Structure 1
């Protein structure tokens, strides 16, 4: 597990206006919770925090230098701007070395799927309990050599020493299904169109053909007497 040291500043401005000013200063508003202490409002350097998440994952262990002391913490909730992608706010959980915490760890699928197979990923992470300074960054799950019809549950994931599975071991993570044929896809589309009552507009060629047919069926006009 990665451990990153960051400088944290104590925040004295709160609310939306204070948060905006914090972000304009190149900082991310954050709150540290845990161990029965009052929440601590801090600001983290945006660029360094982004690098920590990029290289260490969302469960990266942070050593925060704040008010002349150190605080170990891990991200518990990260809010990002839906369009621009920058970090808007972070909730941090205070931890101690040797302490066990429950976290969600991502599943990373490796290997090639069997010919004619289609991978269905029902869950992208599992919950485990691990020592705060040894949280796994991700779990590799291989689908190499698995036949169509195979399934992988949470209980099938190999955990490192010191980690305990919290997720129900019967929870389905991955399934290797048979890939649908072109005929199957066309039938599904036709069924969906019928159920939704969608009326498809005729193509230009179909419209032109219909117009020509209508002209050919029009009765001839009486000649002038």
Structure 2
């Protein structure tokens, strides 16, 4: 898998005030962690991160370019504002290309809007799967085609496309349910017999004045 490059800058200023200033310039503070190596404080422009994230997603192999030095890495965590959805901070993990990495990749249900058996309700029970592989074998995600699903045959982790890839070890239980297809519940309409007959209200008794 070819790494997707992301232009970044080494960040010397740390602390709340420094981070607040760079955020005001639409720059995202970041940290690059390395097992047994130095932790690098860095930053990336919001537009650059959005460009790469749109192409790569959260699980692809990235090439973080800092002053011409490109290091392989993956996104480990994206912190967002709970209300504004603004990206506040990104954590990256630097990789050794000769060492396997454990990570989670998203599950995509292909043709979920084109399921032949209708009417039906598709329920996805698992959104991601944990894997282990070399960085060069990191997939963009795990996929399965649900177009021909029926009510009696659910889809399991073992049915995902990456389950047939010898370069990838799936750590999630292969018998875990990914999705099911079920018939919609039918609500019987009330019949005329179920509706009580209306009765006339007795007229109020009017007493004559003496």
Range with greater deviation from structure 2 (47-56 or 155-164): 155-164
1:130 aligns with 2:115: no
Query: Do the aligned residues in 2 keep the contact of 1:98 with 1:133 (CA within 8 Å)?
Result: no
Structure 2 distance, partners of 1:116, 1:65, is: 50
CA distances 1:5-57 after superposition (whole Å, capped 9, x unpaired): 22322223333332221211221111111221232211112111111111111
SS at match of 1:6: strand
1:218 aligns with 2:204: yes
CA distances 1:198-222 after superposition (whole Å, capped 9, x unpaired): xxxxxxxxxxx9xx95xx54331x3
1:2 to 1:81, Cα distance in 2 relative to 1, 3 A: farther
**1:172 Cα deviation from its structure 2 partner:** 0.8
Aligned residues: 197
TM-score by length of 2: 0.82
Structure 1 distance, partners of 2:14, 2:188, is: 59
CA distances 1:67-87 after superposition (whole Å, capped 9, x unpaired): 553322110111223444332
2:174 counterpart residue number: 169
**1:119 Cα deviation from its structure 2 partner:** 1.0
1:18 counterpart residue number: 18
Task: Looking at secondary structure, tell me which structure has more helix per residue.
Answer: 1
Structure 1: unaligned runs, 5 residues or longer: 187-208
1:126 to 1:40, Cα distance in 2 relative to 1, 3 A: same
Matches within 5 A, 1:1-225: 1=1, 3-66=3-66, 69-111=69-111, 112-113=114-115, 114-159=117-162, 160-183=165-188, 217-220=203-206, 222-225=207-210
Structure 2 distance, partners of 1:132, 1:104, is: 13
SS at match of 1:52: helix
TM-score by length of 1: 0.77
CA distances 1:74-121 after superposition (whole Å, capped 9, x unpaired): 101112234443321111000122332112111111233322332111
Q: Could you say what the CA RMSD is over the residues aligned between the two structures, in angstroms?
A: 2.5
**Relative contact order higher in (CA < 8 Å, ≥ 6 apart):** 2
